[in-house]
Amino acid sequence: MRQGQKRDRARELRRDMTDAERRLWRCLRLRQLDGFRFRRQVLVGPYIADFACLEAELLVEVDGGQHDGAEGDPVRDAFLRRHGFRILRFWNNEVLADLEGVCEVIQHRLAEGPPPRHKAP
């Protein structure tokens, strides 16, 4: 998929969020978690992350049943980690059943700060 197509796909995903994504976005938007800014459906290399806090280098993914046993997720996660991101994954039903708990986990991870950078020798 070319860059323009990915950008269009990200716009489409922002417009057609799942119920779980919509609920979590209400918690993440407008710097509600300790002043950290989150963005929705962010392009990161060849991937689109559900939610990203770039200053904390944290990505939050909300997964539905299509991710159960998905072979691409480990490859995707490895790419994102190599590029300095930490990743939190939640199932749709977790977000819908315990939004407060999910937001607390995210807030805790934000408080840890970004991962340490490895310096080249």
Break the chain into its structural domains and give their ranges.
3-110
User: Hunting for tokens 């689109």 — which residue is that?
Assistant: 48
Segment 94-109 shows an average pLDDT of: 97
In the structure, what pLDDT confidence band is assigned to residue 113 with cuts at 50, 70 and 90?
confident
Domain 3-110 has CATH 3.40.960.10: yes
- Of the chain, the percentage scoring pLDDT greater than 70 comes to 88
Distances from the Cα of 114 to the Cα of 13, 53, 69, 72, 99, angstroms: 26, 10, 28, 25, 23
In the structure, what pLDDT confidence band is assigned to residue 4 with cuts at 50, 70 and 90?
confident
Statement: residue 85 has pLDDT above 90: yes
Statement: residue 102 has pLDDT above 50: yes
> What token pair was written down for 30?
């407008």
- Of the chain, the percentage scoring pLDDT greater than 90 comes to 72
Segment 45-49 shows an average pLDDT of: 93
Specify the amino acid at residue 100.
E
Return the pLDDT at 67: 47
- Residue with the bigger pLDDT between 78 and 72: it is 78
